[in-house]
Amino acid sequence: MRARARKRAAAAPVVEIGYEFGFDAAHRFGGAPRGHKYRGVHGHSFRVEIALRGTPRPPHGFVADLEKIERACRALRRQLDHKLLNKIKYLTNPSLENLALWIWDRLAGKFPGLARVTVRRDSLAQSASYFGPDGPKQEGTSHKA
């Protein structure tokens, strides 16, 4: 019996879109040892990148509506900008890592394609990224027919 060639279904394209916003804020790490430079109140300029992944959907071809993403991020910025981060509810220990988690928690329910939240302090060349509870998606994996 002759083997029939299987046609692979064309995989839907996955596209990553992003939006960035910045804010300036102060924080402190009271649990740091005495004399540690981060123990006292100090400030930074932060930059946040939101990434969403998905397949562009008809009729407009969007993965997600960037206007809605901008609106949600403006609301977050208003909560963070020129604030003492330690005083924000659920953000008493505002490390880069915890900021990424805090932002994720506020966006994930609104944007199902949320793939990554990265928070940066460019002046110190530091960043933290959170990829959600399932971790980062692996790129370039092969699939058998």
Domain limits, the chain? 15-30+41-130
Tens of pLDDT, residues 37-75: 888 899 999 999 999 999 998 888 999 999 999 999 999
pLDDT for residue 22 is more than 90: yes
User: Residue 144: its pLDDT value, please?
Assistant: 37
- DSSP state at residue 90: T
Cβ distance 47 to 19 under 8 Å? no
Band of residue 3 on the pLDDT scale cut at 50, 70, 90? very low
Q: What count of residues does the chain have? A: 145
pTM attached to this predicted model: 0.84
pLDDT for residue 36 is more than 70: yes
Q: Which of 86, 99, 84 is nearest to 26 (CA)?
A: 84
- Residue 106: enclosing H or E segment and its boundaries? helix 96-107
- Yes or no: is domain 15-30+41-130 CATH 3.40.50.1220? no
Q: Which of 104, 70, 76 is nearest to 88 (CA)?
A: 76
Tens of pLDDT, residues 82-138: 999 999 999 989 999 999 999 999 999 999 999 999 999 998 899 999 999 888 876
